[in-house]
Structure 1
Amino acid sequence: MASPHGISLQVTVHIDPKNVEEFFTHFKPLYDRVVAEPELRFFEVYQSPEDPGTISWVEHWDCTIEWLNDVQLKKQYFQDYKAAADHLLLRPRDAVILNRVGPGYSTWKDAATPEK
């Protein structure tokens, strides 16, 4: 079932901590291309404080799961990233696609907002 609020793609990769810098040299061009896509609404990358080789990211899309799988994930720049970076992965990437629940269950507070 398509969500009227879009979908969220959540990905985690595991790489040797000594290869993190190399991973990001391949990841940054992908990130730059993805954030330029008109259907993308949000993209943030995270790194585990306990294991610097565990990198996760969250993407929010205004599209269907079918479009993400059949169009976005088949774009040449995504295939180029996989060809360049997959040898760094210690195991297959973990990825999950979720429907976003939407208004009432989504908050973003600017870093400049005083804490309450």
Structure 2
Amino acid sequence: MSDTAQNGFNIQASLFFAPENIHKVFAALKPVYEKTTAENDCLSFQVYQSLDDPGQILLVEDWKTSLDDYMAERLKTDYMREFFAIIEPLFVKTREVKVFSRLPQFHNMKM
């Protein structure tokens, strides 16, 4: 069994837009954020904006499900397809996605 199936994972997506389009991105992101954080397997979801480049957004999600389930189910939801249909034409650079296995011996979340 993989570490992600046992311990969950963290996924980080850097998205790149023209700064003048950020308001469109945030408007499209709001319902995705609300639906994602309501999902049982979502432990956290943070959104960051680069201080150096206001057109760069970082999405950081922590999940207690397997990466395979995430890829098979979440990315195919209507709300995620709608989100990508809105934001993909606004990309000025290809998105960068990184996935990390959670190491339970070093995992502590404070809210």
Alignment of 1:40-55 (within 5 A): 40-55=42-57
1:56 maps to amino acid:
L
Matched, 1:27 2:29: yes
Q: 1:56-90: per-residue Cα shift (whole Å, max 9, x none)?
A: 01100011111011111111110010011111111
Partner of 2:3: 2
Give how far 1:108 is off. 4.0
Aligned residue for 1:52, secondary structure, equals: coil
**TM-score, length-normalised on structure 1?**
0.86
Give how far 1:5 is off. 2.1
* Structure 1 gap segments, 5+ residues each: 111-116
Distance in 1 between the 2:104 and 2:55 partners? 31
Q: 1:81-107: per-residue Cα shift (whole Å, max 9, x none)?
A: 00111111112211112111124x234
Partner of 2:68: 66
* Contact 2:43-2:62 within 8 A present in 1 as well: yes
* Contact 1:2-1:65 within 8 A present in 2 as well: no
**TM-score, length-normalised on structure 2?**
0.90
Aligned residue for 1:93, secondary structure, equals: strand
Aligned residues: 109
Give how far 1:109 is off. 4.8
1:2 maps to amino acid:
D
Higher helix share: 2
Alignment of 1:32-111 (within 5 A): 32-103=34-105, 105-109=106-110
RMSD (CA atoms) = 1.4
* Structure 2 gap segments, 5+ residues each: none
Identity of aligned residues (%): 28
1:19 maps to amino acid:
N
